[in-house]
Structure formats: C-alpha cells, structure tokens
C-alpha cells in the first residue's frame, strides 16, 4: 500500500473512532440476548454499504473478513482501533480468489471458539445485494445462527459512484440497526438454497428500512452497463 493510501487508511480509522464516540446506536428486534442465554453461536451478515456503521456498533471479540483489495487495505486500521479482528479474505481481480478459503477457515475456528464474526456478503466487487456463499458455509460448518443486519444512519454521506454505495454516518447522528429473524440451515437444504434464503431475508430487510438504496444501486448498475455497451 502506498504512503498516501496508508495515510488515508489511518485518517479513516480515527474518523471511525470519532464517529463511535459521537453517534448513537439504536437496536431494533435484537435477538442476541436470547441467543446468548441459550449459548447459541451467531455470525453477522451485512452488505458492503453498511460496513462502516456496522463496525461502529461492533461487539467485543468480533472478527471480520476483509478483502485483499485496496478497499480492504483502507478498512484495516479502522478495524484495529475499534477492536475488531480483521481476517483477510478474497480479491476477485482477474477472477482470482486470494486467500478466500483460508480466511473462511480462520473465521470458522474463531466462531467455534465462541466469538462472533461478520462478513460483508455481497463482495468483494459486487454486484450489490448478491450474496456470496461464504456466509452459508460458515453457518453450516459452525452450526451458528445467521443474523442479517442493516445499519442505517439518520444522516449520512453516500459514495454514489461506487458499486456498493458505501454509507458513512455523519457525526452526532443516530444509527438504526435492524435485525431480521435469525436463520439456521435445515438438514435437507443445500448450501445454494441456504444462500438464497439468506439473500432474500437481507434484501427484504433493506427494502423495508432503507428502500431507496437498492433501487438507486440498480439504477447505477444499469447506467454503467449502458456506458460499457456504448
């Protein structure tokens, strides 16, 4: 990573610390107290757009898969200062999966040790709202419940030209964290069927509580496709 990118990464890290100090988190339909009382492990499933807000509402001992892309490099210092354990995942540039399976194995070991983990599931390069199978595999191999969550700031900046439309909370805003109903795989369910069920639940959650964003993201993809065709 270049010196300039390194400086940018640490500026983002200290910005995330400042946001954590000034933003208020409001939880909706939080199933974690019941899961903890029953000693049920769980993993978080989020969209790339909500990574910053979700990191601010981080739980102690959480690990997160971070892609080996330059975007992933930017997030590393922020995760360190917030106490999140980053595990480097994949980079799909040139159709290569760099470290994806080994990172998943690390996450599996982390969850089996009794600590939560989260994955930004529609990445590392999109398309937005299309979930990769890693979260389904992680849940099946650890018997952990999947918690779909979206974290929506009441005031935010949106990086509108990026594929994920990354959201950055503004200082002193409220972040509403909405949970979907917890999900677990059935014995007869394939990984692909489970992946689709997780995807449907997460996308419905976003549509219910931040409905304009999926529409805007789809419009951006359509516009970029038209530019490429021309």
Give the separation between CA 171 and CA 185, rounded to whole angstroms: 39
Section 30-45 average pLDDT: 97
What SS3 state is found at 222?
A: helix
Q: Tokens 């990026």 belong to which residue?
A: 162
Q: Tokens 């007869």 belong to which residue?
A: 188
Could you tell me the CA-to-CA distances from 107 to 18, 65, 102, 146 in Å, in that order?
A: 28, 8, 9, 14
Q: Which of 45-49, 129-133, 159-163, 204-208 has the lowest mean pLDDT?
A: 159-163
Res 230: pLDDT: 58
What SS3 state is found at 64?
A: strand
Q: With the CA atoms of 199, 204, 205 and 206 taken in that order, what torsion angle do they form, in degrees rounded to the nearest 10? A: 90
Angle at 217 between CA 95 and CA 104, to 5 degrees: 40
Question: Cis omega (within 30 of 0) on the bond before 127?
Answer: yes
Across all residues in the chain, what is the average pLDDT? 89
Sequence-ordered list of residues with C-beta below 8 angstroms from that of 9, at least 6 positions apart, any chain: 1, 73, 74, 75, 76, 77, 78
Q: Which of 35-44, 88-97, 151-160 has the lowest mean pLDDT?
A: 88-97
Give residue 162's pLDDT band: very low, low, confident or very high (50, 70, 90). Answer: confident
HSE at residue 119, side-chain half, CA atoms within 13 A, is 30
Give residue 182's pLDDT band: very low, low, confident or very high (50, 70, 90). Answer: very high
pLDDT tops 80 at residue 217: no
pLDDT digits (tens, 9 = 90+) for 76-92: 899 999 999 999 876 55
Query: Cα Rg for the chain, rounded, in angstroms?
Result: 17
Section 150-164 average pLDDT: 93
pLDDT tops 80 at residue 212: yes
- Measured on CA atoms in the order 193, 199, 202, 204, is the torsion positive or negative? negative
104: which 2 tokens?
């998943």
Helix (H), strand (E) counts: the chain: 8, 9
Question: Cis omega (within 30 of 0) on the bond before 38?
Answer: no
Give the separation between CA 93 and CA 95, rounded to whole angstroms: 5
Section 21-32 average pLDDT: 97
pLDDT tops 50 at residue 94: no
State what percent of residues in the chain have pLDDT above 90.
66
Give residue 93's pLDDT band: very low, low, confident or very high (50, 70, 90). Answer: low
């Amino acid at each position: 990573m270049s010196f300039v990118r390194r400086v940018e990464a640490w500026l983002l890290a200290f910005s995330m610390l400042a946001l954590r100090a000034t933003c208020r988190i409001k939880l909706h339909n939080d199933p974690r107290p019941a899961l903890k009382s029953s000693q049920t492990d769980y993993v978080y499933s989020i969209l790339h757009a909500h990574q910053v807000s979700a990191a601010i509402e981080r739980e102690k001992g959480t690990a997160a898969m971070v892609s080996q892309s330059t975007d992933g490099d930017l997030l590393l210092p922020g995760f360190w200062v917030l106490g999140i354990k980053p595990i480097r995942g994949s980079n799909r540039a040139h159709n290569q999966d760099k470290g994806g399976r080994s990172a998943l194995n690390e996450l599996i070991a982390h969850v089996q040790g009794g600590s939560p983990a989260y994955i930004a599931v529609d990445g590392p390069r999109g398309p937005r709202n299309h979930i990769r199978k890693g979260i389904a595999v992680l849940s099946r191999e650890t018997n952990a419940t999947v918690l779909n969550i979206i974290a929506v700031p009441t005031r935010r900046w949106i990086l509108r030209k990026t594929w994920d439309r990354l959201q950055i909370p503004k200082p002193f805003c409220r972040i509403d964290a909405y949970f979907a109903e917890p999900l677990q795989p059935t014995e007869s369910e394939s990984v692909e069927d489970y992946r689709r069920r997780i995807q449907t639940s997460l996308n419905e959650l976003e549509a219910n509580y931040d409905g304009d964003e999926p529409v805007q993201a789809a419009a951006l993809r359509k516009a970029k496709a038209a530019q490429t065709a021309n």
